[in-house]
Amino acid sequence: MLMSEEDIKRFLPHREPFLFVDGVIEIGPGERILAFKRFRPEEEFFKGHFPGNPVVPGVIIVEALAQAGGILAYVTDPEGIKGKGPALIGLENVKFRKFVLPGSELKLDVKVLKRRDRVWRIKGEAYVEGVKVAEAEILASLL
C-alpha cells in the first residue's frame, strides 16, 4: 500500500465519520489514483439505509471518488493547493450499477480528464471484486 489512512489525513481535511478513503494503492501525479474504502458493517449510515437490507448510499460512493480525486490533486500540485480546500461544483454522467453491501471493499479508480486553473474534471469508477458498481464525472474547484 502506497498510503495509509494516516498519510491520507495529511492531504484531506475530512475526518471520521466522513473520511471515505482508507488507503492508496497507486498514484500517478496529474493522471490517476487507485485507492480503496472498506465499508465495515458497523458504519453508522447502515442503520437507516436501509434497516434489514443495508446498502452503501450512492452519494457516499461518489464522495469516496471525489476524496480520492482530492488526494490526487494535492499530490499533483501541493504548492498550488496549499491553504486551499477542494469544493465539489458539479457531477455529470453519474451511474449506479450495483448495490454495495456491508463488508465490501470499494476500489476507487480516478483519472484526471481536464485541469484548468483551479477547476479539475475527473472521472471516477468504483469497483467491488472487479465489477463496476458506480461511475461519475466530478468537477471540483479549489477555494
| Catalytic residue from among 49, 115, 118, 132 | 49
Contact 87, 140 (CB under 8 A): yes
d(CA 99, CA 102): 10
> Does 50 sit behind a cis peptide bond, omega within 30 degrees of 0 on the bond before it?
yes
The C-alpha cell at 132 is: 463496476
49 noted as active-site residue: yes
Q: Tell me whether residue 65 is exposed, middle or buried, using C-beta atoms within 10 angstroms of its C-beta: 0 to 12, 13 to 18, 19 or more.
A: buried
Catalytic residues: 49
